[in-house]
Amino acid sequence: MPNAVPALREAEPLPQPYLLFLGDVTEPGYAKTAFGLRDWAGERCVGEYACKGATVTTGLPFLSPPQARMLGARSMVIGVANPGGRIPANWIPLLLDALHAGLDLIGGMHARLAEIEPLRNAAVVHGRRLIDVREPPVGLPVASGRKRSGRRLLTVGTDCALGKKYTALSLSRAFASRGIDADFRASGQTGILIAGGGVPMDAVVADFAAGAAETLSPDADAGHWDVIEGQGSLSHPAYAGVSLALLHGSQPDVIVVCHEHGRERMLGHPHFALPSVEDTIDLALRLGARTNPAIRCAGVSLNTGALDAATAQRAIEATAARLGLPVADPMRGGPAFDRLVDACLA
Amino acid sequence: MPNAVPALREAEPLPQPYLLFLGDVTEPGYAKTAFGLRDWAGERCVGEYACKGATVTTGLPFLSPPQARMLGARSMVIGVANPGGRIPANWIPLLLDALHAGLDLIGGMHARLAEIEPLRNAAVVHGRRLIDVREPPVGLPVASGRKRSGRRLLTVGTDCALGKKYTALSLSRAFASRGIDADFRASGQTGILIAGGGVPMDAVVADFAAGAAETLSPDADAGHWDVIEGQGSLSHPAYAGVSLALLHGSQPDVIVVCHEHGRERMLGHPHFALPSVEDTIDLALRLGARTNPAIRCAGVSLNTGALDAATAQRAIEATAARLGLPVADPMRGGPAFDRLVDACLA
């Protein structure tokens, strides 16, 4: 795009800390990104900002962009999505407030920030950046297949949208709490905002997808773990290619298979049955062995969010008994999750 | 790109017949595209055109662009590639000759025709199109996984560059010679020029790759065959994701596995052993069954180009005996190829 808005350099982390922008949203379901950032990157969020009339809050202090800048914020993140992914006209003055105050703007909606004329003009005038986390880095390589140093874990799903990101975040946090040097590696937009960097795998040109996955978890110290957010499912009729490229490029030593208890049909593709956890493990190990013959499955992350505690406990135990593997719901933690973490690090 | 060069409408076939442009090439290896077009789309090539000093010829008559236009040509295709994929300055006057004569220009090199100022200006003035077959169609959908009518065959490789395109072309020609309604469906640049249309799978954004494959072989009559050019290999460390998206989106009833006799290491990735033909069949059937449970392997296309006739014959027979499947080298034809065609249509 031929403009003079300063660009993010390749592999440069996102400017942090963040001020979270909540728009004029009154439905909490539209503010998932803001809640995810509060929960997983709270120490890098100085506060929130919103239009008059917004009722959703993250509980963080309400700050004007100049106040946030004073407290160290370097960017304002659009933490809400509305149906259609548009940026309504009444948000623009508040987005301009952020640019005027010296903050960069970060968005991940379908509408590109740099295509909005007043934002572009203000960014040029103030030397601020308009960063779109849907935009993959330029100059991605074709995958080499070369084995990299360090250790890697990839979350692998039976389907989309059932906990691969939260499982990877939970595991990387658990690794760190045991004193292990670990990084969460993000492959989707919300994950990228949380991590402060990453690659939006779904937006990469197909020939470079495995190469993009290779750049996501570079060579590291022998004891270092990259905990990589999975995408899609190897059995998904639309996205399996993305999942396979991510699996091949990640070269995981360990996979954790993520499944939602009771889900029987593919999300958005109800004429496709969900693959079994057993089949998903078998397929991922077979395919993953191509770039890492030592790949193994440490266990299963079971999303039991729809169940009460006792039913969830029974579901976790029954699945563990059936598979002969550690099974846990990371959102519930407890000894089952400790056993899953043990198995990952074994 | 903001210019006034008329664009090709989505799914519009390439303008044909072609005049083949050979540049100033003196090394036949650089003219593979021109030779492929002569061999597989000869009835749609009116002649060739080249700079002074070019020594490579397709054997077609040398025609100036106005002569070619008189004989019905609608476009001139750049049928050569030089190292680096650039368009040298001494080609420009001849490319302008074509635009002046009322021909569109078609290229598939890394350098984009529309980025060359004199070509752009001339295209605008003459209302001609600058068509780049590396450019995927806009508005590709996410795959639906919906089963389409008609029958489909996909060529599946143990590796890149070992005969998937030629096998698909040979099979579609053999089907047609038996009176069967069949289309060759191209998934790569040279194939697209031969077919006059198609989708460059390697250039599609990953999330839309299976959707692109679905659009490549649309609903058809029950007795119609689409013979689809495969890409990459399910065991390729860089391109397996593309291959899987193409397999899922193609929903093939039949696969033919393509292999080069004696190749033991992946092209460009010599630290990876080639997968066996048996493993390739097994993996393709397992993965392909996700979108077409009736998928079957009809046999193997064995590239024996490096062998003498007797050795090739022995290699074909030995492979057929080992696999218990029809095996043929389509370039050699004969009864073995007839048996492979029989098995595809069985």
- The CATH number that applies at residue B156 is 3.40.50.300
Are the beta carbons of A241 and B245 separated by less than 8 Å? yes
| A204 and A263, same domain (yes or no) | yes
Please tell me the predicted confidence (pLDDT) of residue B4: 56
Domain end marker among B132, B160, B187 = B132
- A1 in contact with B, Cβ within 8 Å: no
Partners of residue B201 in chain A, C-beta under 8 Å: 206
Q: Which residues of chain B have pLDDT under 50?
A: 1-3
Partners of residue A238 in chain B, C-beta under 8 Å: 142-145, 207, 210-211, 248
Nearest chain B Cα distance for residue A71, angstroms = 39
| A239 and A337, same domain (yes or no) | yes
Q: Name the residue in chain B with its Cα closest to that of A284.
A: B287
Structural contact between residues A93 and A23, judged by C-beta atoms closer than 8 angstroms? no
Are the beta carbons of A269 and B144 separated by less than 8 Å? yes
Place of tokens 């962009």: A65
CA angle at residue A240 from A235 to A244, to 5 degrees?
A: 110
| B208 and B278, same domain (yes or no) | yes
Please tell me the predicted confidence (pLDDT) of residue B3: 42
Please tell me the predicted confidence (pLDDT) of residue B6: 63
Q: Which one, of B202, B171, B199, lies nearest residue B184 by Cα?
A: B171
Residues in chain B: 346
| A165 and A117, same domain (yes or no) | no
Closest partner CB to A145 (pick from B142, B241, B269): B269
Kindly report the CATH number assigned to the domain that includes residue A27. 3.40.50.720
Report the residue of B135, B207, B233, B287 to disrupt the A interface, i.e. the one with the largest count of A CBs within 10 Å.
Answer: B207
Handedness of CA A274, A278, A284, A290 (dihedral sign): negative
Partners of residue A145 in chain B, C-beta under 8 Å: 237-238, 269, 271-272
B278 falls within a domain: yes
Give the Cβ contact number of residue A299 at 10 Å: 25
Closest partner CB to B248 (pick from A146, A209, A240): A240
Write the pLDDT tens digit of every residue in A119-128.
Answer: 999 999 999 9
A142 falls within a domain: no
Please tell me the predicted confidence (pLDDT) of residue A29: 87
Structural contact between residues A344 and A171, judged by C-beta atoms closer than 8 angstroms? yes
Domain end marker among B100, B132, B164 = B132
Q: Which one, of B322, B327, B325, B329, lies nearest residue B306 by Cα?
A: B329
Closest partner CB to A271 (pick from B145, B245, B283): B145
A82 falls within a domain: yes
Please tell me the predicted confidence (pLDDT) of residue A3: 43
B181 falls within a domain: yes
B12 falls within a domain: no
CA angle at residue A208 from A206 to A213, to 5 degrees?
A: 110
| B87 and B226, same domain (yes or no) | no
Please tell me the predicted confidence (pLDDT) of residue A1: 34
| B43 and B78, same domain (yes or no) | yes
Using DSSP bridges, classify how beta strands A269-273 and A265-266 pair: parallel, antiparallel or unpaired: antiparallel
Closest partner CB to A242 (pick from B145, B207, B271): B207
Q: Which residues of chain A have pLDDT under 50?
A: 1-3
Residue B98: strand, helix, or coil: helix
Closest partner CB to A202 (pick from B207, B237, B272): B207
Closest partner CB to A206 (pick from B245, B272, B290): B245
- B315 in contact with A, Cβ within 8 Å: no
B43 falls within a domain: yes
- A284 in contact with B, Cβ within 8 Å: no
Q: How far apart are CA B184 and CA B220, in angstroms?
A: 13
Closest partner CB to A205 (pick from B143, B203, B245): B203
Structural contact between residues A159 and A230, judged by C-beta atoms closer than 8 angstroms? no
Domain end marker among B83, B100, B132 = B132
Q: Name the residue in chain B with its Cα closest to that of A245.
A: B241
| A162 and A298, same domain (yes or no) | yes
Range of the domain at A172: 151-345
Residues in chain A: 346
Report the residue of B199, B201, B243, B244 to disrupt the A interface, i.e. the one with the largest count of A CBs within 10 Å.
Answer: B244
Q: List own/partner pairs for A312-318 with CB under 8 A and 24 or more apart.
A: A312/A261, A315/A261
Structural contact between residues A295 and A252, judged by C-beta atoms closer than 8 angstroms? yes
Q: How far apart are CA B216 and CA B250, in angstroms?
A: 8
| A98 and A168, same domain (yes or no) | no
| A238 and A326, same domain (yes or no) | yes
B155 falls within a domain: yes
Number of domains present in the structure of chain A: 2
A6 falls within a domain: no
Please tell me the predicted confidence (pLDDT) of residue B111: 78
Partners of residue B283 in chain A, C-beta under 8 Å: 286
| A262 and A325, same domain (yes or no) | yes
Q: How far apart are CA A91 and CA A74, in angstroms?
A: 19
Nearest chain A Cα distance for residue B184, angstroms = 22
Please tell me the predicted confidence (pLDDT) of residue A8: 60
Residue A228 has what DSSP assignment?
E
Those residues whose C-beta lies under 8 Å from the C-beta of residue A23, and which sit 6 or more positions away, are A50, A51, A54, A78, A80, A82, A88, A91
Are the beta carbons of B248 and A242 separated by less than 8 Å? no
What is the arrangement of strands in the sheet containing A75-78, beginning at the earlier edge strand?
A45-49, A18-21, A75-78, A104-107, A130-132
| B219 and B251, same domain (yes or no) | yes
Distance (Å) of CA A342 to CA A178, A346, B100: 10, 6, 72
| A168 and A274, same domain (yes or no) | yes
